[in-house]
Structure 1
């Protein structure tokens, strides 16, 4: 069995990540066609392509979320970002793009945690630098199109006062032996790392957001479920959280796990902001995107045109095709490329050209939207305020501009 390491801080292995093995090791459930059908029935529209294509592949208690939604009972979505750099890359955008879809599909509240404290504790970052990165990342998140009336973005070092009661309750219920076993902490790790899992767990409980839900009544807040879409490497945090939830008399948070967007260099690792030539950043120019794809994107195509025509590409290792599975949402066109490329009727250069155009359009559109995000927008999204549990389906979601005008 090949070795693979999947933790909140490291993803590596020999060859492809074995997601079936992760499901078994982590004790989660593969997302079934029946679950996808139930999601579609609940929201009255088609599921996101990333669900249908198995990019979001694993879950915990998603049926509980659907049961609550079908009965009109409240739930909210929680995701986050560790601000270790000023610019986000494509891999960072996966949970936010999917969370935006969840908000639109269910009309639900979204809370987004910016863990500037985590990055200060783990990375060689100055405290003020981590805080600044968080605000820059918030602008990228807002540019994804989240509803300003239904989204709360918070930086841990700002919101810690409100979170602290739940943090110490969680910390008291988490032993050092559990933290060491799950997260691999050693005597050389600073004590802040030992406490951080409680900070990341706290947003899983509705009582962390009394202003958002308009009450401090624990009997009300304990009825509000939490759904967490995240990459599978974040699951250890929430396995511990789910064990603690029952003892805190809260529902266990539900999860939807995503696969990793591979680095341009190939399978066995995820896209990383710290390794040169592995990532497409949301600040890249069209020229940079084209150069990175052509130069670095690992190909499953054959060494010569003749071999490619005869044998076709190995799609299991082909990074351009993997990226198309994420970013080309036309199922018919994706299937055409899959067949033609794997059977030798398309060359690697043709597939890369298609991907380059898609990514250039995606990144340029994001850059234009981010330009429109102001400091006032950031302040609005980062201000705790009351929100209705569900959007009224008959009313359109307010845009940033409309909300800004209303506040002024």
Structure 2
């Protein structure tokens, strides 16, 4: 990429320094990794080389973000006055961009908001989709700030060969799953792109402002688009970037441009917002801040993340207790030994055992989790016993969500998705 392209007749202007920023994110059109990194991580493909999954330390260096340190977690606890979420204490949310600046704003009493989202490609979310929403709910309660949740039904129409109607239906069903996580309606606005773009001219205006600030070469370098990709895909990143600008929500923030957002998301979504961080200052807005999570692995192992397109790789929020049991027993990759005798003697490997890895995400008791790890590593706890612990935990979690979801009617979804003022204290 070069910095020589100039705006003519409203054309895109290359952003100073953006080429160097985006160079680190290059992927080829076929999703192949760069020469420097054998893990594939982009918004559409995640594949690790090692059995333990993605090398996150290498990914931090490759993406140019910062590690969330124990000192930063301690500062967050001090500012909010509540214990850190287990996903944060256990390093599952492991890196950030400008989290320190957000904590500075909180200390100074200056406003910010939360922004996260979901690409609705299936009628039911799975456990991996649940992780960022669980953490976002904790952030909303800890910081007492408004939250916007984007449902990118347009993205899934472009990438998944869904009809517009199918994508919109998936968005509504996913909204019910999200609401069942327990979000506060007075502080949460959920919107789907297909409908909100027509409801809010300012949202589309911001999309246009962002899209004019990015060249095609920059988009190719950032996302790996090829000549055969439809132009809708090439334009879509500007739609995912627009919620980072507070004026995209005039019913919440009016015309204020001085309110930044904090985005909790899996690290494969980082390219969208690294791009946005280069664009937003030019448009007079703050850069978005981010907190990145590691990937929720597929049942078959940590090399890939759980996927809605492979039902045997995932535990869905619609699965019955029996389905959860069968999937874990049949598909969950084991770090145990071949025989009971070998396992008792050599112990299991928690770094690759999917049952233990899932417990790291959902098991709340730190002391009991540490004991499970010790017992499995020593060989005291067998693989079948470890799977039984996980099965009971996931059956309980999914049953609770299903119970809450049963109360989420179409009217409740409409209330969450109606543009309106939110309750906040700035």
Q: Does 1:175 align with 2:212?
A: no
Q: Give the match for residue 203 of structure 1.
A: 243
Q: For the residues of structure 2 that align with 1:267 and 1:145, how far apart are their CA atoms?
A: 29
Output the CA distance in 2 between the equivalents of 1:295 and 1:156. 38
Partner of 2:130: 93
Deviations 1:207-238 (A, max 9, x none): 1001012x22xxxx222110000000000000
Aligned length: 386
Distance 2:257 2:246 in 1: 7
Q: Give, in angstroms, the shift of residue 275 of structure 1.
A: 1.5
TM-score, structure 2 length as denominator?
A: 0.89
Shift of 1:13: 2.6
- 3-state SS of paired residue (2:334): coil
Question: Is 1:308 matched up with 2:348?
Answer: no
What SS does the aligned partner of 2:116 have?
A: strand
Aligned counterpart, 1:69: 106
Where does 1:14-29 land on structure 2 (aligned, <5 Å)?
14-15=49-50, 16-29=53-66
Q: Aligned to 1:38, which of 33, 50, 75? A: 75
The answer (yes or no) to whether the contact 1:88–1:281 under 8 Å persists in 2 is yes
Q: Contact 2:48/2:55 (CA < 8 Å) preserved in 1? A: no
Residue 47 of structure 1 corresponds to 84
Partner Cα separation in structure 1 for residue 316 and residue 139 of structure 2 = 24
Separation in 2 of the partners of 1:390 and 1:205? Answer: 19
* Cα distance between partner residues in 1 of 2:371 and 2:305: 27
Distance 2:79 2:172 in 1: 35
Structure 1 counterpart of 2:225: 185
Native 8 Å contact 1:75 1:389 kept in 2: no
Match among 259, 270, 282 for residue 235 of structure 1: 270
TM-score when scaled to structure 1? 0.93
| Paired position in structure 1 for 2:179 | 142
Tell me, in whole angstroms, the C-alpha distance in 2 between the residues paired with 1:369 and 1:235.
31
Does residue 246 in structure 1 map to residue 286 in structure 2? no
Tell me which residue corresponds to 1:80. Answer: 117
Which residue of 1 is the match for residue 32 of structure 2?
none
Equivalent-residue separation in structure 1 for 2:76 and 2:191 (angstroms):
29
Counterpart in 2 of 1:400?
none
Question: What are the ranges of 5 or more consecutive residues in structure 2 without an aligned counterpart?
Answer: 1-35
Alignment equivalent of 1:373, drawn from 408, 416, 426? 408
Structure 1: which 5+ runs fail to align? 392-408
* 4+ residue segments displaced more than 6 Å: none
Q: Secondary structure at the match of 1:283?
A: coil
| Corresponding residue of 1:382 | 417
Q: Distance in 2 between matches of 1:383 and 1:270?
A: 33
Deviation sequence 1:253-309 (CA, Å, 0-9, x none): 000000001000001100001123110000000000000000000000000011101
